[in-house]
Amino acid sequence: MDWKYTISLLGYGPFWEAALKVVQLSLLAWMISTVLGMLVALGRQSKFRVLSAALGTYVWLFRSLPLLVLLIFVYNAPSAFPELKPIVGDPFVAGLIALVLSETAYISEIHRGGILSVAKGQGEAARALGLRWRSVQLHVVIPQAFRVALPTLGNELVTIIKLTSLVSAIALTELLMVGQRLYNQNFKVLETLLVVAVFYVMLVTVFDGGLKLLERRLDVGNRRSAVTSSASEPVLLPAQIGREKKEHHGEVLLSARGTTKSFGSTRVLGGVDLDVHKGEVIAIIGPSGSGKTTFLRTLNAMESIDGGEVLFKGEPVGYGKTKTGHYVPSPDSVIAAQRQHIGMVFQQFNLFPHKTVLDNVIFAAVDLGRMSRSEAKAHGLTLLRKVGMGEHASKYPYQLSGGQQQRVAIARSLALSPDVVLFDEPTSALDPELIDEVLRVMAELAADGLTMVIVTHEMRFAEQVADWVVFMESGVIGEQGPAVEIFSSPRKERTRTFLDRVKV
């Protein structure tokens, strides 16, 4: 080994120029492929089968083609299509196009894995806020999917850096070609290739370090909250809620008429009729598997209906009918606009983990253009104080208890001032000692006149707070009536048996 010669090559100008070209080619190929790969991954999740199939074919084809074959094909394409010569006649551009075509196919699969790792409830929570598909993907799904996929994306960048050595096949002067020219002149193969290897190791090390910094920057677990207190502000309510029970009449906000729903051959809803009046609190009770949650989700089109009607102020929610009577989904923009008036709180909180408590609350109002960010912040802080979470505005969801997260979710559902809020067993995922703090917030909202439809197993809460109680079993309403009558003297034996068992 000629070590003096080897060391001298570390300062050889053409090597540094070639290294710069490798950096440019690698970064451009990686960034373009990362963006296009995400679009391909999202497209493959599309309900449009033609689009999904076409993109699936693209991924299959370009993952199957060797990069070297693709490079030569792209570079020589002008021989068959002369009009392409101004574009791919440059070896750098030809190499970039070939790398992007190949890497987009690989990276789309990385992104698809990231997208599939995002909990389904995240998308549902965003849609329940009245956001359109584009906003849901851009602000909720993609940031979380990208964070999951980043380590593998970093590995793909390293792969691209090494693959640039193949571009020498189309006469692009990169590191390997510079080395080949040298050792063809002086036959010092090992010394020259050792320096080539050192340059590649150096480039990979620098990029790897940069990606590690980006990973730490995107990890909310490394961010410190401005507030360190773990205690919640008390939700001050009198021992007995000072609220008169509301009669089951007046302005109808939501209405279900003969609503049916099946999943495959399983009939979940067998024809449900219910009116929700303004200012009314309705509790839906019943055994597990009775269709309570499914029915609630049809009220804001989280689940489509098979028959009957679901109306908000007289307008169909989430669907239209053809002249032949077939149901067709409403456009995304129409459903999103309706959901802005029908808030929803889920069992599993579904807070957005990459956003602070305050950002969770104000996100929809800002994205939909309802308020400026400064106005939304003031409004969001008011709502957080209302649910006893004002001091936690700068925290992230992982820093909160289950009860605190659910109270933030309630504040988030109120940010757009909806006409009615749906609660899907809001305390079922909480420890017993945390249930009361959530129920107290809900009781206060009821006292303020908020229209609420609540699926719950908390019988005492339903008895004290609800105006109207609906008992469901086997996908139909077995009995409904004023809370005092349902709990004190139910008419149906099945209702009585259920309540007796639950009380025990």
Query: What is the distance between the terminal CA atoms of the chain, rounded to a whole angstrom?
Result: 87
pLDDT in the model for residue 279:
93
Position 225 scores a pLDDT of 53
Of 470 and 502, the one with more pLDDT: 470
- Residue-level pLDDT at 228: 43
Mean pLDDT of 383-392: 93
- What is residue 58's predicted lDDT score, i.e. its pLDDT? 96
Q: For the chain, give the number of residues.
A: 504
324-344 exposure pattern, b = at least 16 Cβ within 10 A, e = fewer: eeeeeebeeebbbebbbbbbb
Chain region(s) in the chain for CATH 3.40.50.300: 252-503
Model pLDDT, residue 223: 66
- pLDDT the model gives residue 226: 47
> To the nearest 5 percent, what fractions of the chain are helix, strand and coil?
60, 15, 30
Between CA 129 and CA 344 the distance in angstroms is 8
pLDDT surpassing 50 at residue 237: no
Residue 185 has pLDDT above 80, yes or no: yes
- For residue 230, pLDDT beyond 60: no
Among residues of the chain, what percentage have pLDDT more than 70? 95
For the domain made up of 3-219, give the CATH fold. Answer: MetI-like fold (1.10.3720)
Rg over alpha carbons for the chain, rounded to the nearest Å, is: 30
| Strongest mean pLDDT among 170-174, 177-181, 364-368 | 364-368
pLDDT value, residue 247 = 86
For residue 181, what pLDDT is reported? 87
Identify the pLDDT of residue 229: 47
> Average pLDDT in the 146-167 region?
93
What is the C-alpha to C-alpha distance for residues 24 and 33, in angstroms, rounded to an integer? 14
pLDDT band at 169 (very low <50, low <70, confident <90, very high): confident
* Nearest in space to 479 (alpha carbons), one of 252, 273, 196: 273
Q: What is the pLDDT of residue 224?
A: 61
What's the pLDDT score for residue 233?
Answer: 52
pLDDT confidence of residue 367: 94
Q: What is the token pair recorded at 310?
A: 């679901």
- Is the pLDDT at 239 greater than 50? The verdict is no
Q: What is the DSSP letter of 137?
A: I
Q: How confident is the model at residue 216 (pLDDT cuts 50, 70, 90)?
A: confident
What class, spelled out in words, does domain 252-503 have in CATH?
alpha beta
Asked if 168 and 196 count as a contact pair (C-beta separation under 8 A), the reply is no
* pLDDT of residue 243 exceeding 70: no
Q: How many Å apart are CA 192 and CA 185, to the nearest integer? A: 11
Beta strands in 342-394 (DSSP E): 342-345
Residues 6+ apart with CB under 8 A from 27: none
Confidence of residue 253 (pLDDT cuts 50, 70, 90): very high
Q: Indicate the average pLDDT of the chain.
A: 90
Task: State how far Cα 236 lies from the chain centre.
Answer: 34
Q: Average the pLDDT over 6-24 and give the result.
A: 91
Intervals of CATH 1.10.3720.10 along the chain: 3-219
- pTM of the full structure: 0.86
Q: What is the mean pLDDT of residues 207-232?
A: 73
Question: Torsion angle of alpha carbons 430, 434, 436, 439, nearest 10°?
Answer: -50
Specify the higher pLDDT residue, 57 or 226: 57
Q: How confident is residue 173, by pLDDT bands cut at 50, 70 and 90?
A: confident
| Residue 227 pLDDT > 60 | no
Q: Which SS3 state, helix, strand or coil, does residue 396 take?
A: coil
Predicted confidence at residue 142, as pLDDT, reads 96
Segment 333-344 shows an average pLDDT of 95
Per residue in 405-434, pLDDT (tens digit) is 999 999 999 999 999 999 999 998 888 778
Q: Is 405 left (phi over 0), alpha (psi -120 to 50) or beta?
A: alpha
**232 pLDDT above the threshold of 80:** no
Q: Is the pLDDT of residue 41 over 80?
A: yes
Which residues have a Cβ under 8 Å from the Cβ of 174 and sit 6 or more positions away? 18, 21, 22, 25, 164, 165, 167, 168
